[in-house]
Copies of this chain bind each other. A is one copy, B any other.
Amino acid sequence: MNNKIRVGIAGYGNLGRGVESAISQNEDMTLVGVFTRREPVDVQLLSDQVPVHKLDEIESFKDDIDVLILCGGSKNDLPEQGPALAKHFTTVDSYDTHAKIPEYFASVDEVAQAAGTTAIISVGWDPGLFSINRMMGEAILPEGETYTFWGKGLSQGHSDAVRRVDGVKAGVQYTLPAEDAMNRVRNGELPELSTKEKHTRECYVVLEEGASEEQVRETIVTMPDYFADYNTTVNFITEEELRRDHAKMPHGGFVIRSGKTGESTDQVIEFSLKLDSNPEFTSSVLVAYARAAHKLQQKGDTGAKTVYDIAPGLLSPKSPAEIRKELL
Protein backbone atom coordinates (compact mmCIF):
# COMPACT_ATOMS: atom_id res chain seq x y z
CA MET A 1 0.00 0.00 0.00
CA ASN A 2 1.23 3.42 -0.82
CA ASN A 3 -1.47 5.92 -0.03
CA LYS A 4 0.67 7.83 2.41
CA ILE A 5 0.29 11.58 2.57
CA ARG A 6 3.09 13.03 0.44
CA VAL A 7 4.66 15.99 2.20
CA GLY A 8 7.12 18.62 0.98
CA ILE A 9 9.15 21.07 3.07
CA ALA A 10 9.84 24.63 1.87
CA GLY A 11 12.77 26.08 3.79
CA TYR A 12 15.26 24.12 5.83
CA GLY A 13 16.30 25.79 9.10
CA ASN A 14 15.48 24.67 12.66
CA LEU A 15 11.81 24.36 11.77
CA GLY A 16 12.37 22.46 8.51
CA ARG A 17 14.69 20.04 10.28
CA GLY A 18 12.07 19.56 13.01
CA VAL A 19 9.42 18.83 10.38
CA GLU A 20 11.66 16.28 8.69
CA SER A 21 12.10 14.54 12.02
CA ALA A 22 8.39 14.73 12.94
CA ILE A 23 7.29 13.24 9.62
CA SER A 24 9.41 10.17 10.36
CA GLN A 25 7.30 9.65 13.53
CA ASN A 26 4.07 9.51 11.51
CA GLU A 27 3.52 6.32 9.56
CA ASP A 28 0.81 7.71 7.33
CA MET A 29 3.16 10.32 5.87
CA THR A 30 6.18 10.37 3.62
CA LEU A 31 8.58 13.22 2.93
CA VAL A 32 9.01 13.57 -0.84
CA GLY A 33 11.43 16.48 -0.95
CA VAL A 34 12.94 19.55 0.64
CA PHE A 35 12.94 22.84 -1.27
CA THR A 36 15.51 25.52 -0.50
CA ARG A 37 16.75 28.86 -1.75
CA ARG A 38 20.28 27.70 -1.00
CA GLU A 39 22.29 25.44 -3.30
CA PRO A 40 20.76 21.98 -2.78
CA VAL A 41 24.21 20.39 -2.46
CA ASP A 42 24.88 22.64 0.52
CA VAL A 43 21.86 21.40 2.45
CA GLN A 44 22.48 18.38 4.66
CA LEU A 45 19.26 16.63 5.72
CA LEU A 46 18.88 14.20 8.61
CA SER A 47 18.01 11.47 6.08
CA ASP A 48 20.02 10.79 2.95
CA GLN A 49 16.95 9.24 1.31
CA VAL A 50 15.18 12.54 0.67
CA PRO A 51 16.06 14.72 -2.34
CA VAL A 52 16.75 18.45 -2.03
CA HIS A 53 15.62 20.77 -4.80
CA LYS A 54 15.79 24.46 -5.63
CA LEU A 55 12.73 26.28 -4.31
CA ASP A 56 12.19 28.07 -7.62
CA GLU A 57 11.65 24.72 -9.36
CA ILE A 58 8.90 23.65 -6.96
CA GLU A 59 6.03 24.19 -9.41
CA SER A 60 7.09 21.14 -11.39
CA PHE A 61 6.44 19.01 -8.27
CA LYS A 62 2.77 20.03 -8.10
CA ASP A 63 1.51 16.50 -8.74
CA ASP A 64 3.95 14.83 -6.35
CA ILE A 65 3.05 16.71 -3.18
CA ASP A 66 -0.19 16.54 -1.20
CA VAL A 67 0.79 19.11 1.42
CA LEU A 68 3.64 21.56 1.52
CA ILE A 69 4.84 22.71 4.94
CA LEU A 70 6.24 26.24 4.81
CA CYS A 71 9.17 26.56 7.18
CA GLY A 72 10.29 30.09 6.34
CA GLY A 73 10.22 33.06 8.70
CA SER A 74 7.24 35.32 9.31
CA LYS A 75 9.10 38.53 8.68
CA ASN A 76 10.69 38.06 5.31
CA ASP A 77 9.65 34.70 3.84
CA LEU A 78 5.99 33.94 4.50
CA PRO A 79 4.33 37.21 3.43
CA GLU A 80 5.54 36.43 -0.08
CA GLN A 81 5.80 32.62 -0.04
CA GLY A 82 2.43 32.00 1.64
CA PRO A 83 0.26 33.33 -1.18
CA ALA A 84 2.72 32.30 -3.92
CA LEU A 85 2.82 28.66 -2.83
CA ALA A 86 -0.89 28.38 -1.96
CA LYS A 87 -1.45 28.97 -5.67
CA HIS A 88 -0.10 25.50 -6.42
CA PHE A 89 -0.09 23.58 -3.17
CA THR A 90 -2.15 22.82 -0.11
CA THR A 91 -0.03 24.40 2.62
CA VAL A 92 0.52 24.73 6.34
CA ASP A 93 2.62 27.50 7.90
CA SER A 94 3.54 29.00 11.27
CA TYR A 95 3.04 32.68 10.48
CA ASP A 96 3.35 34.31 13.90
CA THR A 97 3.25 38.09 13.54
CA HIS A 98 0.04 38.37 15.61
CA ALA A 99 -0.86 41.91 14.55
CA LYS A 100 -0.67 41.14 10.83
CA ILE A 101 -2.58 37.86 10.83
CA PRO A 102 -5.83 39.30 9.36
CA GLU A 103 -3.91 40.81 6.45
CA TYR A 104 -1.88 37.64 5.86
CA PHE A 105 -5.03 35.49 6.09
CA ALA A 106 -6.74 37.61 3.41
CA SER A 107 -3.81 37.44 1.04
CA VAL A 108 -3.52 33.65 1.33
CA ASP A 109 -7.30 33.10 1.26
CA GLU A 110 -7.77 34.94 -2.01
CA VAL A 111 -5.19 32.79 -3.77
CA ALA A 112 -6.26 29.49 -2.16
CA GLN A 113 -9.95 30.04 -2.92
CA ALA A 114 -9.14 30.69 -6.56
CA ALA A 115 -6.75 27.75 -6.85
CA GLY A 116 -8.88 25.25 -4.91
CA THR A 117 -6.12 24.59 -2.39
CA THR A 118 -6.37 24.57 1.40
CA ALA A 119 -3.95 26.70 3.44
CA ILE A 120 -3.82 26.49 7.23
CA ILE A 121 -1.94 29.53 8.51
CA SER A 122 -0.43 30.46 11.89
CA VAL A 123 -0.06 26.91 13.18
CA GLY A 124 2.16 26.10 16.17
CA TRP A 125 1.64 26.81 19.84
CA ASP A 126 1.32 30.59 20.01
CA PRO A 127 -0.34 31.32 17.66
CA GLY A 128 -1.81 27.81 17.61
CA LEU A 129 -2.60 25.62 20.61
CA PHE A 130 -2.56 28.60 22.99
CA SER A 131 -4.99 30.44 20.70
CA ILE A 132 -7.41 27.50 20.79
CA ASN A 133 -7.29 27.44 24.57
CA ARG A 134 -7.78 31.21 24.88
CA MET A 135 -10.84 31.00 22.66
CA MET A 136 -12.37 27.91 24.22
CA GLY A 137 -11.85 29.23 27.74
CA GLU A 138 -13.72 32.40 26.86
CA ALA A 139 -16.54 30.49 25.11
CA ILE A 140 -17.05 28.03 27.97
CA LEU A 141 -16.63 30.49 30.85
CA PRO A 142 -17.90 33.82 29.46
CA GLU A 143 -17.60 35.52 32.86
CA GLY A 144 -13.91 35.44 33.66
CA GLU A 145 -10.42 36.41 32.60
CA THR A 146 -7.79 34.71 30.44
CA TYR A 147 -4.11 34.84 31.37
CA THR A 148 -1.21 33.83 29.15
CA PHE A 149 2.17 33.28 30.84
CA TRP A 150 5.24 32.46 28.79
CA GLY A 151 8.22 30.40 29.86
CA LYS A 152 10.40 28.94 30.92
CA GLY A 153 11.76 30.06 27.61
CA LEU A 154 14.91 31.23 25.92
CA SER A 155 14.42 34.78 24.67
CA GLN A 156 16.56 35.70 21.68
CA GLY A 157 16.19 39.48 21.96
CA HIS A 158 17.00 39.57 25.66
CA SER A 159 19.94 37.19 25.26
CA ASP A 160 21.34 39.55 22.64
CA ALA A 161 20.91 42.47 25.04
CA VAL A 162 22.86 40.61 27.75
CA ARG A 163 25.65 39.78 25.32
CA ARG A 164 26.05 43.45 24.37
CA VAL A 165 26.95 44.41 27.97
CA ASP A 166 30.62 45.35 28.52
CA GLY A 167 32.46 42.51 30.24
CA VAL A 168 30.06 39.80 29.01
CA LYS A 169 31.70 37.17 26.86
CA ALA A 170 28.60 35.05 26.28
CA GLY A 171 25.22 34.44 27.84
CA VAL A 172 21.58 33.53 27.58
CA GLN A 173 18.36 34.88 29.07
CA TYR A 174 15.28 32.94 30.09
CA THR A 175 11.81 34.35 30.67
CA LEU A 176 9.91 32.65 33.50
CA PRO A 177 6.31 32.91 34.62
CA ALA A 178 6.12 34.60 38.04
CA GLU A 179 4.98 31.92 40.48
CA ASP A 180 3.11 34.28 42.79
CA ALA A 181 1.15 35.78 39.89
CA MET A 182 0.26 32.30 38.60
CA ASN A 183 -0.92 31.22 42.01
CA ARG A 184 -3.15 34.26 42.37
CA VAL A 185 -4.72 33.41 39.01
CA ARG A 186 -5.14 29.74 39.88
CA ASN A 187 -6.85 30.69 43.12
CA GLY A 188 -9.54 32.55 41.20
CA GLU A 189 -8.50 36.03 42.38
CA LEU A 190 -8.90 37.47 38.84
CA PRO A 191 -6.02 39.93 39.36
CA GLU A 192 -5.10 42.60 36.84
CA LEU A 193 -1.55 41.81 35.76
CA SER A 194 0.77 43.46 33.27
CA THR A 195 3.21 41.38 31.24
CA LYS A 196 5.93 42.63 33.62
CA GLU A 197 4.10 41.41 36.69
CA LYS A 198 3.54 38.01 35.12
CA HIS A 199 7.16 37.24 34.30
CA THR A 200 10.64 37.19 35.79
CA ARG A 201 13.97 37.08 33.97
CA GLU A 202 16.96 34.84 34.56
CA CYS A 203 20.36 35.42 32.95
CA TYR A 204 23.33 33.03 32.67
CA VAL A 205 26.47 34.95 31.90
CA VAL A 206 30.09 34.07 31.04
CA LEU A 207 32.37 36.98 32.00
CA GLU A 208 35.30 38.31 30.00
CA GLU A 209 38.62 37.81 31.76
CA GLY A 210 38.95 40.42 34.50
CA ALA A 211 35.40 41.78 34.28
CA SER A 212 33.52 42.61 37.50
CA GLU A 213 30.53 40.48 38.50
CA GLU A 214 29.01 43.36 40.44
CA GLN A 215 29.30 45.81 37.57
CA VAL A 216 27.89 43.43 34.96
CA ARG A 217 25.01 42.43 37.21
CA GLU A 218 24.20 46.09 37.91
CA THR A 219 24.27 47.01 34.20
CA ILE A 220 21.95 44.14 33.32
CA VAL A 221 19.34 44.52 36.06
CA THR A 222 19.04 48.29 35.51
CA MET A 223 18.86 48.13 31.69
CA PRO A 224 15.79 50.11 30.63
CA ASP A 225 13.02 48.35 28.63
CA TYR A 226 14.75 44.97 28.86
CA PHE A 227 15.28 44.33 32.57
CA ALA A 228 14.77 47.41 34.80
CA ASP A 229 11.06 46.76 35.42
CA TYR A 230 11.42 43.02 35.96
CA ASN A 231 12.56 40.86 38.79
CA THR A 232 15.87 39.80 37.20
CA THR A 233 18.50 37.39 38.49
CA VAL A 234 21.99 37.08 37.02
CA ASN A 235 24.02 33.88 37.40
CA PHE A 236 27.68 33.64 36.45
CA ILE A 237 28.83 30.42 34.81
CA THR A 238 31.77 29.05 32.85
CA GLU A 239 31.89 28.71 29.08
CA GLU A 240 31.77 24.97 29.50
CA GLU A 241 28.61 25.18 31.62
CA LEU A 242 27.02 27.45 29.03
CA ARG A 243 27.72 24.92 26.28
CA ARG A 244 26.65 21.94 28.38
CA ASP A 245 23.53 23.30 30.08
CA HIS A 246 22.20 26.06 27.86
CA ALA A 247 22.45 24.85 24.28
CA LYS A 248 18.81 23.82 23.88
CA MET A 249 15.93 26.07 22.95
CA PRO A 250 13.38 25.39 25.68
CA HIS A 251 10.10 27.22 25.83
CA GLY A 252 6.56 26.83 26.99
CA GLY A 253 3.96 28.61 29.00
CA PHE A 254 0.49 28.60 30.44
CA VAL A 255 -2.97 29.69 29.32
CA ILE A 256 -5.27 29.96 32.31
CA ARG A 257 -8.97 30.80 32.14
CA SER A 258 -10.42 31.66 35.50
CA GLY A 259 -14.17 32.13 35.52
CA LYS A 260 -17.34 32.02 37.55
CA THR A 261 -20.48 29.98 37.04
CA GLY A 262 -23.78 29.87 38.94
CA GLU A 263 -23.97 32.17 41.93
CA SER A 264 -20.22 32.64 42.21
CA THR A 265 -18.51 29.32 41.75
CA ASP A 266 -14.81 29.33 40.80
CA GLN A 267 -13.83 27.29 37.75
CA VAL A 268 -10.28 27.15 36.37
CA ILE A 269 -9.15 25.75 33.02
CA GLU A 270 -5.40 25.49 32.51
CA PHE A 271 -3.33 24.49 29.48
CA SER A 272 0.44 24.37 29.60
CA LEU A 273 3.47 23.32 27.62
CA LYS A 274 6.94 22.39 28.87
CA LEU A 275 9.07 22.14 25.77
CA ASP A 276 12.73 21.17 25.71
CA SER A 277 12.86 22.29 22.09
CA ASN A 278 10.58 25.02 20.85
CA PRO A 279 11.25 24.49 17.11
CA GLU A 280 10.87 20.71 17.32
CA PHE A 281 7.51 21.05 19.05
CA THR A 282 6.23 23.67 16.62
CA SER A 283 7.26 21.30 13.83
CA SER A 284 5.26 18.47 15.38
CA VAL A 285 2.18 20.67 15.50
CA LEU A 286 2.70 21.67 11.86
CA VAL A 287 2.87 18.03 10.80
CA ALA A 288 -0.40 17.13 12.57
CA TYR A 289 -2.13 20.08 10.91
CA ALA A 290 -0.67 19.04 7.54
CA ARG A 291 -2.75 15.87 7.89
CA ALA A 292 -5.86 18.00 8.50
CA ALA A 293 -5.07 20.26 5.53
CA HIS A 294 -4.87 17.23 3.26
CA LYS A 295 -8.18 15.82 4.51
CA LEU A 296 -9.92 19.18 4.04
CA GLN A 297 -8.57 19.63 0.54
CA GLN A 298 -9.68 16.08 -0.34
CA LYS A 299 -13.25 16.87 0.62
CA GLY A 300 -13.26 20.22 -1.19
CA ASP A 301 -13.03 22.47 1.85
CA THR A 302 -10.60 24.99 0.39
CA GLY A 303 -9.29 28.48 1.13
CA ALA A 304 -7.29 29.86 4.06
CA LYS A 305 -7.97 28.38 7.51
CA THR A 306 -6.63 28.81 11.02
CA VAL A 307 -6.58 26.42 13.96
CA TYR A 308 -10.07 27.72 14.81
CA ASP A 309 -11.46 26.11 11.66
CA ILE A 310 -9.97 22.67 12.23
CA ALA A 311 -12.06 20.01 13.96
CA PRO A 312 -9.71 18.15 16.34
CA GLY A 313 -10.45 14.75 14.81
CA LEU A 314 -8.87 15.83 11.52
CA LEU A 315 -5.47 15.88 13.24
CA SER A 316 -5.52 12.16 13.96
CA PRO A 317 -4.33 9.38 11.68
CA LYS A 318 -7.13 7.28 13.16
CA SER A 319 -10.65 7.11 11.74
CA PRO A 320 -13.53 8.97 13.43
CA ALA A 321 -14.96 5.64 14.63
CA GLU A 322 -11.58 4.65 16.12
CA ILE A 323 -11.10 7.87 18.04
CA ARG A 324 -14.66 7.75 19.36
CA LYS A 325 -14.09 4.22 20.60
CA GLU A 326 -10.55 4.62 21.97
CA LEU A 327 -10.22 8.19 23.15
CA LEU A 328 -13.61 9.79 23.85
Q: Which residues of A contact B (CB under 8 A)?
A: 18, 21-22, 25-26, 98, 101-102, 105, 122, 127, 129, 131-132, 134-136, 138-143, 186, 248, 261-262, 265-277, 280-281, 283-285, 288, 291, 306-313, 315-317, 320-321, 323-325, 327-328
Chain B residues, Cβ within 8 Å of A288: 136, 139-140
Q: A262-B277, A308-B313 are in contact. List 17 more A-B contacts (CB 8 A).
A: A25-B261, A26-B142, A98-B328, A101-B324, A101-B328, A105-B324, A129-B269, A132-B312, A140-B315, A186-B274, A261-B284, A265-B277, A306-B313, A308-B320, A308-B324, A308-B328, A311-B311
Interface of A is mostly: helix
Q: With a CB–CB cut-off of 8 A, which chain B residues contact A324?
A: 101-102, 105, 306, 308
Within 8 Å CB of A127, what residues of B? 328
CB atoms of B261 and A266 under 8 A apart: no
Q: Is the CB of A312 within 8 A of B307?
A: yes
**Residue contact A268 to B261, C-beta cutoff 8 Å:** no
| CB-based nearest B residue for A27 | B142
- What residue of chain B has the Cβ atom nearest to residue A141's Cβ? B284
CA distance A262 to B248 in the complex (A): 12
A138 contacts B316, CB within 8 Å?
yes
Contact call A327/B18, Cβ cutoff below 8 A: no
Interface centre among A18, A131, A136, A141 (most CB of B within 10 A): A136
Residues of B within 8 A of A276 (CB): 265-267
How many whole Å from A258's CB to the nearest CB in chain B? 9
Interchain CB contact (< 8 A) of A280 among B18, B26, B105, B265? B265
Name the residue on B nearest A255 (C-beta): B271
Residue pairs across A and B with Cβ atoms less than 8 A apart, 15 shown, are: A21-B261, A25-B142, A101-B328, A127-B328, A135-B315, A135-B327, A136-B288, A140-B288, A141-B284, A262-B280, A267-B280, A270-B272, A272-B272, A306-B324, A312-B312
Q: Would A328 and B131 count as touching, CB distance under 8 A?
A: yes
In the complex, chain B residues whose CB is within 8 Å of the CB of A307 = 312, 328
Which residues of B sit under 8 angstroms from A284, Cβ to Cβ? Answer: 140-141, 261, 267
Q: Residue A325 contacts which of B101, B143, B262 (CB distance < 8 angstroms)?
A: B101
